[in-house]
Each structure stands twice: as C-alpha cells, then as structure tokens.
Amino acid sequence: MNKKILLYSVLTLIGGSLSAQQFSDDFEAYTNGDYIAQKNTKWTTWKNQPGTQEDVKVTKAKAHSGSLAAFFSSSVSNGGPQDLVLPFGQTHNTGKFWLEMWMWVDKDSSAYMNVQGTQPMGSEYAINIYLNKDRTTECRSASGDVHLKTTYPQNQWFSYKLDIDLNTNTWELLIDGVSKGKFASNINQINSLDLYPLNGSSFYIDDVKFDHTPYTKQALNVAVTGIMGMSGYLAGQQAMPSVIVRNLGTTAISSYQVEIDYNGNKTSQTVSFVNIPSLGYDTLDFTSPIILAPGIHNLTATLKKVNAVNPDDDASDDSKVLILDPVSPAANKAVVAEEGTGTWCGWCPRGAVFMDKLHDKYGDLFIPIAIHNGASDPMVYQPYDSLFGKLISGYPTALVDRGTDVDPSAMEVDFLNRIVVPPSATIVNGAIYDATTNTLKVSLTTKFLKATTGDYRIACVITEDSIHSTNAAYKQANYYSGGNSGVMGGFEVLPNPVPAAKMWYSHVARYISPNFGGQANSFPSTINENDQFTHNIIYPLDPKWKSGQIRIVGMLIDPNGKIDNANSTTITQAVSNGFVIGTTVSMGLKKAVIESCRLSVFPNPTSGEAQLGTTISQKGEVRLEIYSITGRLVSTKNYGQIEAGEYTIPVNCNGLSKGIYICKLSHSGSFETVKLVID
C-alpha cells in the first residue's frame, strides 16, 4: 500500500470512529496547491475561514516524507495573513499529550506558532514558540517570560516535539528526539495549535501528529504543578515564589503544607481552611522572599502534608524543581530601551505594558524611552522620531541599546544580554533647576573605567512620565479591546480607542541633545583609564510639563552607534548630585561644554523682531536654528566664522504663529538654547 492510500485511510478513521484524541497528517492526501483547511476539516483557520488568505497551501517545493508539505511565509509587518489552526478535539487539562511535527526553516529566516489554551481563539495562550533567525528557539508565556531557550537547525528537516504531562504541568521540548529541557506553563491546558508566520518567516511543516492519553484519578493526591514568579530576576534581587498545587484525587483538600529549599535555606508555609475540589488548583504565595544567589542553584518545592496526612497516595508528583541561574549585572551598568509608538497605533499598548513591566521589575537598570510618531500624536518630538524611525521596521518596535529591532514583548531577552556587558564608563547626572524660569541645567560627568579609543559620544534625553490630558488628541488606538487578541495589561477591557481621559503616558521623549547620534568630538580619540569629562546642557522646559515627572537620561554612545551605558535620574536626584561645570582634561582637549555661549533674548514675548544677545569666547562657526515647541525646525541661518566677542543677533519673527519657540545657537560644536514667546 502506498503512502497516499494509507494516509487517506487514517484520515477517514479520524473523521469517523475515533474521538479526536489522535491525529496524523503528512499532506499526501492533498493535491499540490490545495488549501489545507478547505480540503481537511480537521484543520481550520484563526477566523474559521478555510480557502481564504488565512488558509495555507500544500506545495511540492519540499517534503520530509512523500512529495508534499505545507509552506508558510510573510512579508507583512505584523505577520500573516496565513493563520492555520489544528484543533485538538477539546480542551485538555489532565492526562498526557504529545505533539510532533517535522519542520524546515529556511536559512536566516524564522518561524512562529502557539498553543491555544481554550476557545475562542486568542482568549488564552498556553505557550508561544519562536524559532528565531539566529537559530535559537524560545518557549514563552503570553506575558513574554522565557520558559526555555535552546538552538535548532536551519535549512534542513528536523523533528519538533512537545511532550506534556498535564497532571503535573511538565512540558518537555525535544528536537530530533533529544530533550532540550522541561518547564511549567503559566496556562496548563491546551486546545489547539496555531501556525502563524511573522514578518520575515519562511518555513515548512510535514508529518504532523498528536495523541492524548486520559488520566485516572486516585483517592488522595495533590501535585506540585508549578513554581512561578522567579524568572528573569537578577542576582541579588528578592523574589517571592508562588507555588501552584493541584488536587488530582477524588477527595477535596482542606489543608496542605509546602517547603521551599534554595541555596541551603529552607522555609515552609501552611495553607488551611481551603476547599480545593477534584482537579482544582490553589496558589500558595510565599511571604518570605528568596534572595537570588549568583550561579546555578536548584529551588525545590515539596508538598509535606495534605489534609494532615503525610504522604498522600502518590508521592511521585509531590515535588517540583526549578533550576535558577540569575543574571549577574555588570557593575554600574544600565540599559536603554527606545520604543517607537504612537496614539494612532492599535498594537502600541503592548509597548507601554512591557516598558512599564520591565521598569517596575528592574528599576533604573532598565531605562525606557517612548518615542512617539505620527502627525496626529501630540507627543511627537520630531528630531528624535525622524531618525529613530529609520532604524525600525514598524510600530511598536524597540531597540535595546540600539541593537537589532525587536517586538516590545522580546525586550527582556535583549536587556538580560546587555546588562552583563561591562560599560566603558560611568555617567553621573547633575543639575540645577530654576522653577521660576523653568530652566534645567544638566551636567553629565563621564568617568572611563578603562583605556579605549574611537569616537565615543555623549547624548542626553529628557523624558516625562504620567502625561494625561482630556484633549481628544490624546486618545489611544487599542486593538486589544474586547480580549480577542489576549490579555494586555488591562487594555483588553478598555474600548477602541481608549478615551484621552482614561490614558496616562509614561517614558515620553521630550528632548534629545545635541542630536540622535550624540555630540561629535565629545571626547578625545584616545582615552585613558580614569579620564573624566563633563558636558553641560541647558533645557528650557515647557510650562505644561510636570517637573516632578521629568527624568534625565545621560547616554554614552560607542563608536559603532550602540549605547554603551546610561544613567537615569529625576530632577531632584540630579540636583542632589550637584551641578558640575565642564572641566578641561589633561591631554589638552578643549572644554567639553555645551554652555560655551551666554545667550539671552529680548524683547520676550514679542510680536515682531527679537534680539539674541550672546558672548562668544573664541572664534568659530555660528549657526542659529529655531524650533517649534514640538521640535519642528522652522528656521535656520548660518553666520559663518565669527570672531570672539559680544554680539546681538536679530531674529525675524514675521511669519511665525503665536506660541513658544526654542532658539538654538550653535558655536564650535557646542550650543545653547533659549525660549522665545511669540504673542
């Protein structure tokens, strides 16, 4: 009997007498070019639209066995439109289940799939599976936590298998039959497989199979099914473990005790007066924190008593081990995450949620900057947005220390990779703040920790938190509304768009100085260990901005354009550090002071011509630029080489509408700004 006839017999059995607990499809019962879900009702699509652009065709281009396989690819910024779904017959939350398929991921390409926990589609993601361009594969939770990361082969066929014990929430990944590790899922139930190509994906699947073995209950049996709340923390941080237990027996559970054993320390906690029904869950949140130690250590959670009985009827599932290897951050290191966003962008709430989540988790070691985009967005700062937008492929997208662009949900991986890299220098933010004139003077003092060479540059970003307005321009598009795209930090229960009155925006970029790439010639080309430099910048703050919500972000940019190190402080913290005037360094570099010109403007406000008064300390090229308060360049004039001395420079205000403008006078690689009001 040939393969095609045999498969047809199997599919006939599955569609007839079997209970959808078993499945096998090698695509040989199809004809080249057939839509899979249209041909075989055991498959469907995300919106249950077989035969449409969501469906996937079989192809003769490659096959693991026989001559046909399914091909997935996408060049759309958000992925798709292919979106093929394989239902598992029902939602399974007990027993043993395995899913296996053969995959081919084209060279330097990627693949993505997820396991849905229940119906309707999108309401619960049990696991997200990424096969990345760099030949790493990750199993992640819906919230972005990485359960398991390993490698896979490209440009060849390989077996990708999930072996799941749903009783104990033990998920194992096997590639070509070799175990790559086990983990516990945040959602311990499964309903269907979703295959969805992301932008840049190009992959094939063949020989797809799954099977489920039901579970027979015992009388008294409680299992430890998960240890949560411990992932992604840094060595030295405190974490509070949450232990999830499940009643796998027929007897209701009224009390239990769990012991945690970590790094030579044991602590136990008892839960009483509960009523956990058969197959029910309970979560024990430990009140004593675990201080994470550097290096690899096992954290073991063990069930000690159940209903005052020790042990229960099945001791094999009473313990669970979590291997902890917390990241040890490099000394004096912080990481910057710049994220492209916009009020017009319906997926951009994802960026806000993950920026807040990581800042809450890691504090000022993770420095978030939200760069707004779009003509309708009132928070756009054009000098920042225009250059940042050239480095990303869509919205929302993030750059971590200006590395490769990633989805905001993947920022944590890049953060953990960067936080261990020793910085070339430390940065101390100092400041003087004049509340009367709303003027902020910043000093960035950079001390190099090692000898180095190259064009290092300094830049400074001003951000604002908790921006709120009832103006309709501040409403936020929200494609998570209704919950069909999963849980997203509460946006799933908000309307689309979210009214301005219900929105607060944080980490919003207000200024970047002197420019996106940093000040040229910030430092000498050869720098010695312990060399120290100070740069000064003056910011006229908009009266509408809340000074208590302003953050100063000093950034050191390396010769490759990556962010080497950074420091984020409030104005109050910077003022307490003290303001430092730029100093001359020992090797004869001129003062690295942006405050080299003393600038004033009069009359101010004005409705016609104004005069800029300035003192130039040394001969150099002088250029005047005028910006709107939103950062749009409205006028520029180059005065060429000017001798040292005192000058009055006329400013023609004709043609400028009423409002606040920033006059920026540049001189010899330095600049100063002053606020000008047109009434």
| pLDDT, tens digit (0-9, with 9 covering 90-100), for 361-389 | 999 999 999 999 999 999 999 999 999 99
**Best CA proximity match to 668, nearest among 580, 599, 591:** 591
pLDDT in tens, 573-583: 999 999 888 73
Question: To the nearest whole percent, how much of the chain has pLDDT over 70?
Answer: 93
Strand partners, 368: 337
Question: Residue 399: which residues within 8 A CB-CB, separation 6 or more?
Answer: 337, 338, 339, 388, 391, 392, 405, 406
Topology alike, domains 329-422+468-503 and 598-678: no
Residue 519 contacts residue 533 (beta carbons within 8 Å): no
Strand partners, 96: 165, 213
Average pLDDT, the chain: 89
The whole-angstrom separation of Cα 297 and Cα 342 is 43
pLDDT in tens, 270-279: 999 999 999 9
With 50 as the cut, is the pLDDT of residue 604 above it?
Answer: yes
Residue 427 contacts residue 335 (beta carbons within 8 Å): no
CA 557 to chain CA mean position, Å: 21
Q: Which amino acid is at 539?
A: Y
Which pLDDT belongs to residue 16?
A: 29
Tokens 């237990």 appear where? 245
With 90 as the cut, is the pLDDT of residue 2 above it?
Answer: no
With 90 as the cut, is the pLDDT of residue 665 above it?
Answer: no
Which pLDDT belongs to residue 213?
A: 95
Which pLDDT belongs to residue 11?
A: 33
pTM: 0.63
Which pLDDT belongs to residue 4?
A: 28
Alpha carbon of 410 to those of 137, 139, 647: distances in Å? Answer: 13, 12, 52
Which pLDDT belongs to residue 520?
A: 82
Classify residue 441 by its DSSP letter.
Answer: E
Q: Which amino acid is at 408?
A: P
For 281-319, give the DSSP string: EEEEE-SSPEEPPSS-EEEEEEEEEETTBSS-S-GGGSE
Which range (322-336, 573-587, 637-651) has the least confidence?
573-587
pLDDT in tens, 21-78: 689 999 999 999 999 999 999 999 999 999 999 999 999 999 999 999 999 999 998 8
Which pLDDT belongs to residue 669?
A: 65
CA 499 to chain CA mean position, Å: 25
**DSSP strands (E only) in 60-156:** 69-73, 84-92, 96-105, 111-116, 125-131, 136-140, 146-151
Which secondary structure element, helix H or strand E, spans residue 650, and what is its range?
A: strand 645-652
Q: Is 549 helix (H, G, I), strand (E, B) or coil?
A: helix
Q: Half-sphere exposure of 561 toward its Cβ, with a 13 Å CA cutoff?
A: 10
Which pLDDT belongs to residue 674?
A: 78
With 80 as the cut, is the pLDDT of residue 615 above it?
Answer: no
Strand partners, 526: 453
Tokens 């040229």 appear where? 520
Phi, psi of 324 (to 5 degrees): -110, 130
Which pLDDT belongs to residue 294?
A: 92
Residue 254 contacts residue 275 (beta carbons within 8 Å): yes
The whole-angstrom separation of Cα 404 and Cα 397 is 10
With 90 as the cut, is the pLDDT of residue 624 above it?
Answer: no
Residue 36 contacts residue 30 (beta carbons within 8 Å): yes
Pick the CATH number of 3-213 from 3.90.1150.10, 3.30.1360.70, 3.30.365.10, 2.60.120.200: 2.60.120.200
CATH topology of domain 598-678: Immunoglobulin-like (2.60.40)
Q: What is the mean pLDDT of residues 538-543?
A: 87
The whole-angstrom separation of Cα 540 and Cα 511 is 10
CATH 3.40.30.10 correct for 329-422+468-503: yes
Q: Is 38 helix (H, G, I), strand (E, B) or coil?
A: helix
Strand ordering across the sheet containing 670-678: 633-642, 620-628, 659-667, 670-678
Enter the CATH code of domain 423-464+514-594: 2.60.40.10
With 60 as the cut, is the pLDDT of residue 584 above it?
Answer: no
CA 247 to chain CA mean position, Å: 35
What is the domain partition of the chain in residue ranges?
Answer: 3-213, 222-324, 329-422+468-503, 423-464+514-594, 598-678
The whole-angstrom separation of Cα 88 and Cα 79 is 24
Which pLDDT belongs to residue 664?
A: 82
pLDDT in tens, 558-568: 999 999 999 99
Q: Is 39 helix (H, G, I), strand (E, B) or coil?
A: helix
Dihedral (Cα; 215, 221, 222, 225), 10-degree rounding? -30
Which pLDDT belongs to residue 153?
A: 98
- The alpha carbons of the chain give a radius of gyration, in whole angstroms, of 30
Tokens 């929430």 appear where? 169
What band does 591 get if pLDDT is binned at 50, 70 and 90? very low
CATH 2.60.40.10 correct for 222-324: yes
What band does 463 get if pLDDT is binned at 50, 70 and 90? very high
Which pLDDT belongs to residue 648?
A: 72
Strand partners, 616: 645
With 50 as the cut, is the pLDDT of residue 157 above it?
Answer: yes
**DSSP strands (E only) in 30-95:** 44-45, 58-59, 69-73, 84-92
Structure tokens belonging to residue 627: 């910006």
**Best CA proximity match to 66, nearest among 29, 104, 15:** 29
Strand pairing category for 178-183 and 190-195: unpaired
With 70 as the cut, is the pLDDT of residue 598 above it?
Answer: no
Which pLDDT belongs to residue 599?
A: 67
Strand partners, 670: 667
Q: Which amino acid is at 383?
A: P
Residue 205 contacts residue 107 (beta carbons within 8 Å): no
With 50 as the cut, is the pLDDT of residue 594 above it?
Answer: no
Which pLDDT belongs to residue 630?
A: 67
The whole-angstrom separation of Cα 568 and Cα 369 is 11
pLDDT in tens, 183-239: 889 899 999 999 999 999 999 999 999 999 999 999 999 999 989 888 778 999 999
Which pLDDT belongs to residue 17?
A: 30
pLDDT in tens, 85-137: 999 999 999 999 999 999 999 999 999 999 999 999 999 999 999 999 999 99
What band does 587 get if pLDDT is binned at 50, 70 and 90? very low
**Best CA proximity match to 222, nearest among 168, 265, 269, 261:** 168
With 80 as the cut, is the pLDDT of residue 474 above it?
Answer: yes
The whole-angstrom separation of Cα 166 and Cα 168 is 6
Tokens 């902890």 appear where? 324
Q: What is the mean pLDDT of residues 460-483?
A: 96
Handedness of CA 15, 20, 25, 31 (dihedral sign): positive
